[in-house]
Structure 1
Amino acid sequence: MKRILQVTNYMDRGGVETLLMNLYRTIDRTEFQFDFLTHPHTVDTVYSYEEEIKDLGGKVYKAPSFIKDPVAYKRFIVSFFDEHPEYHIVHAHNLDSAAMVYLREAKKRGCYTIAHSHNTKDHGNAIKRQLLRLARKQTCRYADYFYACSPEAAEYAFGKKIASSNSCRMLHNGIDLSKYQVNEEIHQRNKKKLLPQCSGPVFCNVGRLMLQKNQTFLLDIFSQIVRRDDSARLIVLGEGELHDDLLRKALNLNIADKVLFLGSVPNVPDYLKASDVFLMPSLYEGLPLAAVEAQACGLPSLLTADMSPLTFCTDLVCPISLSDSPDAWARAALESYEANRGRRADRVEQVRQSGFDIKQVAMELCDFYSSHGSFPSQTATDNRMRGLA
């Protein structure tokens, strides 16, 4: 059995983490095991996916904060790799300042290293964005191979030269398509069960409550929807630092009684089946997993127009510019609702044909792991190590 070290922030219900769990549930765990080196806000917090990881035979390691104490972080990473020589492949999903440390130490020990880009922009102020750009430049030096969820994410993180090279490839954000089959009867049953208080159209958003996801603008859109249809409801699935700010904004817009902040839920597909229209006015995305899930579930989907074209994988997508007004988004949302009302049908086959079947995605990744599962040759390692000492 080959143990693969996946390095990420923390194993909560976010897009990257859900992709990793989709892969983990699908792979042959008699041949591969995933372990997770995480970077949580607090090491004492137990995040949503951690118990399942342990049940599947994986391990979760928690690193201290790099930002708070870089010296202590480096000591932890050096000790970690000294104590865990079983990892021959290190797959990095958080390409921040900490990655410069853990990828470098992994490389020193001859591990095969992968840098994986999941986004097309950085969040934070100008100084933080500049530091992240510098960090990514260094991670390119320490990575043997590069993955990205879209061509745009590859070029943004790694530059045009690497993005167009043979060392970089796309890995679709796969989903378990068996969970998204739906018809009008299932839609109405789920709506009645999960949202019994909703008699009108239900609009849905899935994502962390953070600046990137642009839920403040989402509330502006929904306030315009309510002006036209007072029976409309909005459900928001996800947690994040903007929760209290969004609650206050909903109150200020006089729509708080019509917006349901449901937090992080384990049954996202069930809520997608219960909803009528999916809204995602994100400021930027690599390739949003939730948008693919929504389409598979047959949801008319209003998405920011400049997302990767790979995201628009069914006939249900309505791309809209963020420069358009909340009123324009609201009109398009209600038109999508009326156009599809009473005719719910999934788009599982369209999504499968677009390459998002987790079975195929997992097979591609495991084929790669199989061909790179041993230590690189000593000569190759020596060549790569020049300048790293």
Structure 2
Amino acid sequence: MKKILVIGMTSTPGGVESFLINYCLNKNMTGIQFDFLCPSENKIAYSEEIETQGNVYYVVPKSKNMLLHKKQLKKFFKTNSKEYIAVWANLNSLMNVDFLKIARRYGIKHIIVHSHNSGNMGGFLQKILHMKNKYFIGKIATEYWACSIGAAKWFYPQNITATIVKNAINVEKYAFDQFKREKIREEYDLDGCKVIGHIGRLHFQKNQSQLLTIMQQLIHADESYRLVLIGSGPDRETLIEETSQKGLEKYVIFAGEQKDIGGWLSAFDVFTFPSRFEGLSIVGLEAQANGIPIVASTKAINDEGLINSNVTRISLDSPIEVWCQSIKLSIKEERCEYSIIKEKFRSKCFDIDAEVEKMSKFFLSLY
């Protein structure tokens, strides 16, 4: 049994968390145990599922206590480093690379850095720290992965060539389900409504404020529109206040974190995705697995992540009227057929079973 130490799981279920669960807990990932090291004061997402197959270790976050953070990291690696063949760090930023330096210092041979983003999610300080560490990462890591070409370009200096690891998913899990559609729409009083759905962390990156502006225009002509926002995050209260200011309380549902993403995608009539930047979006793939018509920014679903024919991509510089018109037209479109979706996911290497086999072979080859 080869043991891999995974870094990057947080307490909030999001794209990186979904990616890790898709790969690490896949039934075909045999001969490998994944343990998780987490700088968090709260239980990580999917902790119960993870602990059926591996271990979860916690250290205090650097933002809470820098000295204690480093002390606990050193203690962990001094005690446990000989157990692991590799550290696999799944990151949105290179702001903090202490754990990678310490892991290497204590003799872990393979240090894998995996980029999951193509832009800065934090403030100015995070940007500066990322840029500083970007040019030293070649002296720390031994393998360089990224979810897309854009994520590789943003994360690594030009002299590093990254391996693209696809954000593959279980396509069947997100397939359209008429029963779940009817159940959710009845529960949330959505029968007879045109439901615009969005799933994502409530954060500047995801740009949910634009959806509120779109809704403000749509309901002027048709009050049957409803916007459902799935997710949590730092912008929740700000978005609720903006909803109130725009007089949209009747038309916007903040549904919080939800486990049955496939069911919610089935309940929506169109999926909207106006992100300012993405690496290669997991939820963009999940929505396409469902077959639902999608209206997205060109930053949200790039060429690498485009699978279905019913995806409309719009520049963030386009007028709101263009977004509104695209949503109106997309709601009238049919969902893509599951058999066609499944074949396209396979051909583009986004079907999880095939991609897990590749990753399993890589980890088993390490020594």
TM-score w.r.t. length of structure 1? 0.87
How far the C-alpha of 1:273 sits from its partner, in A, is 1.1
Q: Equivalent residue for 2:244?
A: 251
C-alpha contact (below 8 Å) 2:11/2:44 kept by paired residues: yes
Q: Equivalent residue for 1:297?
A: 290
How far the C-alpha of 1:196 sits from its partner, in A, is 3.8
C-alpha contact (below 8 Å) 1:313/1:351 kept by paired residues: yes
- Residue among 41, 45, 50 paired with 1:48: 45
Q: Equivalent residue for 1:32?
A: 32
Q: Equivalent residue for 2:138?
A: 140
Instruction: Please give the residue correspondences for 1:1-389 in structure 2 after superposition, counting only pairs within 5 Å.
Output: 1-28=1-28, 30-40=30-40, 43=41, 45-54=42-51, 56-84=52-80, 85-94=82-91, 95-99=93-97, 101-108=98-105, 109-163=107-161, 168-182=162-176, 185-186=178-179, 189-190=182-183, 192-306=185-299, 307-340=301-334, 345-346=337-338, 347-372=341-366, 374=367
Q: Secondary structure at the match of 1:256?
A: coil
Change (3 A) 1:228 1:33: farther
CA distance in 2, matches of 1:210, 1:182: 27
CA distance in 1, matches of 2:44, 2:255: 17
- Superposition misfits of 4+ residues, deviation over 6 angstroms: none
CA distance in 1, matches of 2:190, 2:184: 9
How far the C-alpha of 1:188 sits from its partner, in A, is 5.0
Residue type at the aligned position of 2:337:
A
C-alpha contact (below 8 Å) 2:310/2:336 kept by paired residues: no
Aligned-pair RMSD on alpha carbons?
A: 1.9
CA distance in 2, matches of 1:69, 1:104: 18
Q: Equivalent residue for 1:385?
A: none
Q: Equivalent residue for 1:382?
A: none
CA distance in 2, matches of 1:191, 1:354: 31
Residue type at the aligned position of 1:17:
E
Residue type at the aligned position of 1:98:
N
C-alpha distance after superposition, 1:64-107 (max 9, x if no partner): 122343332222111111111201110011243332x2111212
Percent of aligned pairs sharing the same letter = 29
How far the C-alpha of 1:27 sits from its partner, in A, is 4.5
Residue type at the aligned position of 1:13:
P
CA distance in 2, matches of 1:130, 1:110: 28
CA distance in 2, matches of 1:311, 1:8: 22
CA distance in 2, matches of 1:250, 1:125: 25
Of 346-355 and 326-335, more deviation after overlay is shown by 346-355
How far the C-alpha of 1:339 sits from its partner, in A, is 3.0
TM-score w.r.t. length of structure 2? 0.92
How far the C-alpha of 1:309 sits from its partner, in A, is 1.1
CA distance in 1, matches of 2:181, 2:129: 49
C-alpha distance after superposition, 1:100-146 (max 9, x if no partner): x2111212213211000011111223232111211233333211111
Between Structure 1 and Structure 2, how many residues are aligned?
A: 361
Change (3 A) 1:190 1:287: farther
Change (3 A) 1:69 1:48: closer
